[in-house]
Structure 1
Amino acid sequence: MSRPQRIKKMSLSKALDKYYATVSIHKRGHQQEFYRVNVIQRHPLARKAMDEITTVDIASYRDERLSQINPRTGKNISGNTVRLELALLSALYNLASVEWGTCRSNPVEMVRKPKVPGGRDRRLTSQEERRLSRYFQAQNSVLYTIFHLALETAMRQGEILSLRWEHIDMQHGVAHLPMTKNGSSRDVPLTRKARNLLQNLTMALSGDVFHYTSAGFKSAWRVALGRLKIEDLHFHDLRHEAISRFFELGTLNVMEVAAISGHRSLNMLKRYTHLRAYQLVSKLDARRRQTQKIAPYFVPYPACIETVTEGPDGHVGYCIHLSDFEDLHVCGLTRESTIEAAGILLLRTLAQAAQRGERVPQPGALPEGMADRIMIHPLLQAA
């Protein structure tokens, strides 16, 4: 009868150092794992020997972490953060029990894990898109390009920041990503707008397209949200928004969207199919396919009417601003003629977008704080 193998004493802290140096460092996400290692090492649990840590210790660590406040957000540490820390500990114990001889069992396996949160469904509103676009355009043209490139391509932040000129084929409209989060390469189609955005930069034959570090860009993003008072919007939400828009086009199937976004599992795309209610109504009510494609463009848009006084004689005129569009306005002599001109201008703008297959902003709410507000319909009289 063989004698049980003698356990080698090793503190959890030293085991974490060894695991990071031999395992984590070879992962693409080793930087995130480095942060998790540091968090666990600062906990009193890390001073205990691996074989002395029990399921009770792990459960206590879990509960303590879930009750702590994240100093950056002011909210409790998320269940997903704690779940990833426990996953790291579990992987460490599985390896150590087989290869290092520092423990015989895995105390993490039997402990309840925090529930996996559902995917975020945060959508970028038309107003937020306009405000961020104007802010970045005024502050920094590179940030403006990154912002719109995310919405046009659904690329992740890291993928955009790692773009290189030698991997961008303007002739065929493709950006090649040699290495993605999934560990494989991907070719991302570039829309006309995406190509124009890149062409407006100082192009080169090779080298980085953008010179932002991940930390530097995150800081710039947080500053922008703070100044614009936009809450709970992550840059990754732009990827969700872009993929949702791909589905809302109605011309791409799931496989095609997956090819663009780089999702390996089609199940991952189920969360992106929650279309806005008005679009579902439009589909249900559509009688013909052509009507279904074109009709969503020609819907009423909110506007505000401003009375203006011109000249020394105090002549009164009117200006109408369509708030959902960049600098779309019209002025006239009478209220009625100005409303009619606004409808014609809106119709022309929407028709040109439909002809080019471009996305138009969705109608927002009527502008607040304006006394004279109105809905401009591109096909009918103003309501």
Structure 2
Amino acid sequence: MQDLTNITLGEGLKLYREKVSILKKGYAQESYRIDALVRAPMASKVMRDIQSPDIADYRDWRLGQKNLRTGKPISAATVRLEMSLLSSVFDVARIEWGACGPNPVTDVRKPAPPPGRDRRLQPREERRIMRYCHNHPTFELYSVIVLALETAMRQGEILKLQWSHINLRQGIAHLPETKNGSKRDVPLSVKAREAIMRLGVKTQGRVFGYTSNGLKSAWRLMNMRLGIEDLHFHDLRHEATSRLFELGTLDMMEVAAITGHKSLSMLKRYTHLRAVRLVKKLEGHKHRGHLAVLGHLVPYPAIAEQTPEGTVVRVLDFEGLQATASTAEQAIRSAQDALLRHLMVSLRDKLPVPQPDQYLDLVDEDDVIMLDPLSQYSALPGSSEPAHTFLQ
């Protein structure tokens, strides 16, 4: 048997990877952390000689480094994970290898945990992403994102889906293996089933051809081209979980059964309800009709164009909704009246009304007029002042 009483930390880390990490589901991520730890100055020290001050020095040294890929400082969350891994290595070395005494990591303060992410996907971002995916040469990308938003499944769970585990008749996707080690059945909404069926249903094999790195690359490129900042793929799981709560029909245990969260405290961290939902709850039922009307009568973007017939004001979010007049002021007022009539008829007939900005990315925002159906005046392009002050 190999004598491990005087191995260095670097040797212990590599042995841990070969004997312990290899058996874990998160082997790839843990292997990356081991690579970082092996490069640390204390990796050359004998494990038995490493004390708590050495671990504290490592913590401070690591926090002062920068990520080679992004150029940003190493996060506190990364250092916490590395220290947890170090602690496990020392525990195994003490108990199974006899390579050290007490665990020197246990008495060292970890960096304060960062606040949980509360990034919500904005409606305009979602519309732009969906339009981008519809035109993407890899048609699977659209279905991947729809599934993430409709089911709250993790990226790895989506990419590992097998056709044999999907029951479209019952509307269930069976996940035999998940991150936390337990299996679960995920209910599929109508949108989720449509996203799967558009791929061409098969009897066996993987549903998606994407690899983890391939999807990360496609996601990164999409955000770069659309100019969307600080949106991670995992944020779609946050978004989906929040939307499940916002339905108002599911309790926490039912949401946990769908998302696979085992810790209810962790589930609370993922749920960031939109303020507009809370406003409706605060108002209760007594002003429901009033809120419904006000929710429809909001400003919409429009653009004004000069033509031989006069000024044409076109409302971007409604096809064919425009007004023409000899002056810009008259055209704007006519467009406001037309928008108000259209919104009220839609409310009366219970017709869907688009959110006010889904086509803004197709025009120069400096040319946009915000057309308020309830205001006497609307602002001209490039100004916050009302139109009448410029059109006299």
> Normalising TM by the smaller chain, what interval?
0.7 to 0.9
What is the TM-score normalised by the length of structure 1?
A: 0.85
Q: CA deviation at 1:273?
A: 3.7
Match 2:143 to one of 137, 142, 145 = 145
Q: Given the alignment of the two structures, is residue 107 of structure 1 paired with residue 97 of structure 2, yes or no?
A: no
Preserved CA contact (<8 Å) 2:4 2:97: no
Equivalent of 2:167 in 163, 169, 188 = 169
Matched length: 360
Cα drift, residue 297 of structure 1: 9.9
2:338 corresponding residue in structure 1: 338
8 A contact 2:134–2:142 mirrored in 1: yes
Q: Find the counterpart in structure 2 of residue 357 from structure 1.
A: none
Question: What does residue 304 of structure 1 align with?
Answer: 301
**Contact map agreement 1:366 1:373 (CA 8 A) in 2:** no
Name the counterpart of 1:116: 113
Identity value in percent: 49
Offset of residue 288 of structure 1: 5.7
* CA shift digits 1:12-55 (9 cap, x unpaired): 11111211111111111111111111111122211111111121
Q: Tell me the residue number matched to 1:278.
A: 276
| Paired AA for residue 221 in structure 2 | V
Partner of 2:248: 250
Compared CA separation, residues 233 and 137, structure 1 to 2 (3 A): same
The runs of 5 or more residues in structure 1 that have no matched partner are 1-5, 323-327, 354-359
Query: Which residue identity lines up with residue 166 of structure 1 in the other structure?
Result: S
How far apart in 2 are the matches of 1:331 and 1:362? Answer: 15
Ranges in structure 2 where 5+ consecutive residues have no aligned partner: 325-333, 379-392
Aligned Cα RMSD in Å?
A: 2.9
Q: Does the residue aligned with 1:133 lie in a helix, a strand or coil?
A: helix
| Greater Cα shift, 246-255 or 299-308 | 299-308
Aligned to 2:203: 205
Alignment of 1:259-274 (within 5 A): 259-274=257-272
SS in 2 for 1:330: coil
Give the Cα separation in 2 of the matches to 1:149 and 1:376: 36
1:79 alignment counterpart: 76
Q: Give, in whole Å, the separation in 2 of the partners of 1:245 and 1:206.
A: 31
Q: Contact between 2:163 and 2:205, CA under 8 Å: does it hold in 1?
A: yes
Partner of 1:192: 190
The aligned counterpart of 2:13 is 16
Instruction: Determine the C-alpha separation between the residues in 1 that align with 2:121 and 2:72.
Output: 22
Post-superposition offset of 1:366:
11
Q: Could you report, residue by residue, the CA deviation over 1:146-204 in whole angstroms, capped at 9, with x for unpaired residues? A: 11211111111111111111111100111111101110111111111111111111221
With the length of structure 2 as denominator, give the TM-score of the two structures: 0.83
Cα pair 2:301 2:356 within 8 Å, conserved? no
The change in CA–CA distance for 1:12 and 1:256 in structure 2 (over 3 A counts) is same
1:117-136 aligned within 5 A = 117-136=114-133
Structure 1 residue matching 2:301: 3-state secondary structure: strand
Q: Residues 297 and 314 of structure 1: is their aligned pair in 2 closer, same or farther, counting only changes over 3 Å?
A: closer
Greater Cα shift, 61-70 or 362-371: 362-371
| Matching residue of 1:89 | 86
CA gap of 1:346–1:126, structure 2 versus 1, over 3 A, is farther
Aligned to 1:28: 25
Instruction: For 2:356 and 2:61, locate their aligned partners in 1 and report how far apart those are by CA, in whole Å.
Output: 46
Corresponding residue for 2:319? 329
8 Å Cα contact 2:127-2:358 kept in structure 1: no
For structure 1, which segment, 185-194 or 313-322, has the greater mean C-alpha deviation from structure 2 after superposition? 313-322
C-alpha separation between the residues in 1 aligned to 2:52 and 2:178?
36
SS of the residue 2:366 aligns to: coil
Task: Output the amino acid matched with 2:338.
Answer: T
Partner of 1:238: 236
Query: What is the rounded CA distance, in whole Å, between the counterparts of 2:123 and 2:298 in structure 1?
Result: 12
SS in 1 for 2:268: helix
Q: What CA distance in whole angstroms lies between the structure 2 residues aligned with 1:74 and 1:137?
A: 33
CA distance in 2, matches of 1:302, 1:243: 30
Match of 2:157 among 129, 147, 159: 159
| 2:314 is aligned with 1:319 | yes
Deviations 1:99-151 (A, max 9, x none): 11111121111111111222100111111111111112112321111112111
Structure-1 separation of matches of 2:339 and 2:6: 82
Q: Deviations over 1:274-299 (max 9, x none)?
A: 3222221111112269x49x949943
State the shift of 1:319 in Å: 2.9
Deviations 1:76-96 (A, max 9, x none): 101111111111111111111
Instruction: Return closer, same or farther for 1:215/1:321 CA change in 2, 3 Å cut-off.
Output: same
Seen in structure 2, the aligned counterparts of structure 1 residues 81 and 362 have a Cα distance that, compared at 3 Å, is farther
The question of 1:372 aligning with 2:369 is answered yes
